[in-house]
Structure 1
């Protein structure tokens, strides 16, 4: 049963209601099934007609949904639209719904309104680090004996987590990874605690600019939500300030949201941070004049600065629901890093090769480059309009060389010429299946023992590869071939 009276009313009103689901990607089928289970009359739209979409459509038709492929025409009797997160606000069905006064929500908002009574949500958003942080949080919660599940943009649709699990009950706590798209379509979401890890330019074509992108991220700091803030990130702090001001202006009489921060420096009262080689808590302690040890830097894998920040953010969310310090450490020990995130590949002739193909924007690449003192940088792909000047200027002192590939490699080369004019740079123009082998061979020639050859592209992969996973796999295969 849904949590509040308004949410119970919303759930009851789904029976017989005409609901349009836009998109048959990851979340669309799960949303359609959830609505069908509650008696809604479901129509699913998708402009694609490929074989995979046809298969999903056939399965939903078997369950009683109407599925329209190759069209984006909103049914006239639609009373509610639940959109997949990738659909832009200017998509035809969503514009027509707005003009007709039909509410448009996303899969996360639907799940929030239908969540079972007593289920706690801990939310993570940010430009980079979301998946790592949500997985760390899940591990900490489970180490503490909690019934917890990582969901959302991490891969498992949130609507699947509000249904009974294998043991017959939904998870008690959800660690929810939220994209800016999902937050854009969420209006009543009120997590118990939430963090904005960082904000850097990304998805600006979807949102229309950095301010709108940041505003979508800031929605996670909802009224009453404990706000976990990255003390080193100006936009994380600003979004919390804005939420604090809005909540104060509302003056509803409800208790104000508490705010804590995390830092890579020595923490002040109300913060989690680092003292020598220890991760410590001065926020969720009886006496903030004291610090409680949570873990050591050696417990964080890999212990790159940005990953230590991820661990502190996860620890703050875990501590907000009473997770014990020893469970934070045990969770970090149990955490297995996701592939293609500063993942060591091999050491060949004294040179370390690292795959951070997930560094698909300049902000992520900067964090990765900062983790190594002497780097041969493998970069390039689709920059999607991102500015690389600050990235290259900051990284230049630690670069031994660079090997560039992909559609926008010229922009990286121009920035390197300005900020590191004497740096050896190899430009790989080919884009066929053998391109990465040439890239790795060129990097190996530039590197010396003790250097790190780092794939941190700062760009998307789709100009040459199906996705960043394939790009990382091809890089790793080429590295292993060096030592064969």
Structure 2
């Protein structure tokens, strides 16, 4: 007799003996397995290797490990285990053989977010949830929102795709007032995708923007858009959208939300009632006040954000989105301004590495797709652009054409260079373009920096905004950014030593 999964809507429900297959053993997969064994479930973890530290801990937490390459053939051990639920790590596409087998066999497929929502009451009354997604800006907006909530004296948990599994936050014995959950399109796809799903009802939600990304995972742009749109489903208080991105506004208009939820737009223009925006260089709230038709609340100014290093247009947009989410949670504008005073962007997000001989070197390695690279390029009038990597099925023609007037030159790295070189030839034939041929990340970045140095003149910015993923030549985007920064510092130090020697 199959278990009534609808009854498993609390940490304190009877999870004992539930057979759960956990697919994948990254940070998310391990948090799922650890949670389920603590709940008393019978857990089989399927992962492609058994020598990692997490793999060695699987039997320690009371689960069983099945080592399998996880190709198209479904492991016999998983079939024999006969799981009642399959919890899939977000890296596995819905077309993966194991996921297809589950669907064909009638086995419900959950992601870690659904499990976390079901058991969110471990320590009493559950925290409110705020959901953050978008093609770009998710992490910065999640961190901004959490810092604003903390400045109001509440305890937030920034978690999810940001790097801290939501289940780890759920099980933290100290407890939290608000979960600010960053969600990838992969996580959203699996949120509520099974017939046994229960409704996640966030306090507030936002899709910051929408541009082509992860098309190979989703199988196309429409599926990617549909996954992102799920962030608004069942929102109770505020559906925050980007006035400059019509796709996000349509998502809100089409969303099935809780009665009374409001649509709150943000943008770099003058806001109407129920909006957040800019008026004469002042960031204002015209959404969360009684007299919003004729009044506005001042949050901060562009001049103040410039002093804090937070004045790039896409960062200002993220601040407005985060302010809307925080205001939905009851945070006063004074606390938002206080939070901004101490907020610092994470490394590799428009980070100034060096300013030497009138040339600024900026690391935005986190710009892993064209939409993010567009935001970076838009912040500077004269750029030598370092780009390239794994393009994830997208093309750069539109991006290059849009920014060709600001490009002093380009240096192309990565293994998928041919398409980028063609895009420059077709859309910006007057821009000097060099390619770096090589496989080793250290040598590639040293050569890229050397070439960029020769293209740049005083007043230019050498900008690492790859518009692509990093795993072809680097461990991750952080490794790519660190190697860029190391190469820049080495280059500028050498140039300084050479000038000093010339003066002797």
Q: TM-score, normalised by structure 1?
A: 0.93
Match of 2:480 in 1: 471
- The match for 1:290 is 295
Inter-partner Cα distance in structure 2 for 1:335 and 1:455: 23
Mapping for residues 63-212 of structure 1, pairs under 5 Å: 63-70=61-68, 72=70, 73=75, 74-76=78-80, 77-116=82-121, 117-165=125-173, 169-187=174-192, 188-212=199-223
What SS class does the counterpart of residue 429 from structure 2 fall into?
coil
| CA–CA distance in structure 2, aligned partners of residues 242 and 150 of structure 1 | 27
Distance in 1 of aligned mates of 2:172 and 2:363: 38
How far off is 1:94 after superposition? 2.0
1:413 Cα offset (Å): 2.1
Q: Deviations over 1:17-42 (max 9, x none)?
A: 11111110011111111111111111
Corresponding residue of 2:57: 59
How far apart, in 2, do the equivalents of 1:404 and 1:141 lie?
Answer: 41
Cα shift at 1:9:
6.2
- SS of the aligned residue for 1:403 comes to strand
Give the distance between the partners of 1:175 and 1:391, measured in 2 at CA.
31
- Segments of structure 1 that go 5 or more residues without pairing to the other structure are 248-253
- Residue 449 (1) aligns with residue 458 (2): yes
Whether 2:37 is the aligned partner of 1:29: answer: no
Q: CA deviation at 1:15?
A: 1.3
What do the CA deviations read for 1:415-458 (whole angstroms, capped 9, x no partner)?
22223222222222233332211211111111111110001111
Contact kept? 1:190, 1:220, Cα under 8 Å:
no
TM-score, length-scaled by structure 2: 0.89
Structure 1 400/71 Cα, relative in aligned 2: closer, same or farther at 3 Å? Answer: closer
C-alpha displacement of 1:10: 8.0
How many residues align? The count is 466
Residue aligned with 1:134, SS: helix
For residue 236 of structure 1, what is the aligned residue in structure 2? Answer: 248
**Offset from partner CA, 1:256-305 (integer Å, 9 cap, x none):** 42111101001111100011221110001111121101122233633111
Give the structure 2 partner of residue 227 of structure 1.
Answer: 239
- Contact 1:266–1:275 (8 Å) recurs in 2: yes
- Tell me by how many angstroms 1:239 deviates: 1.1
In 2, the alpha carbon distance for the partners of 1:418 and 1:9 equals 57
Mapped contact 1:11–1:113 kept (Cα < 8 A): no
Conserved 8 A contact 1:189-1:220: no
Deviation at 1:200, TM superposition (A): 0.8
Q: What pairs up with 1:284-363 in 2 under 5 angstroms?
A: 284-288=288-292, 289-297=294-302, 298-299=304-305, 301-363=309-371
List per-residue Cα deviations over 1:449-483 (Å, max 9, x = no partner).
11100011111112211111111111111111122
* Alpha-carbon distance change, 201 to 163 in structure 1, aligned in 2, over 3 angstroms: same
Report the CA distance between 1:6 and its aligned residue: 4.9
CA distance in 2, matches of 1:283, 1:427: 49
Partner-residue secondary structure (3-state), 2:231: coil
Q: CA RMSD in A?
A: 1.6
Change (3 A) 1:264 1:473: same
In the alignment, which residue of structure 2 is the partner of 1:375? 383
How far, CA to CA, are the matches of 2:94 and 2:223 in structure 1? 12
Residues 397 and 346 (structure 1), Cα distance of their counterparts in 2 relative to 1, 3 Å cut = same
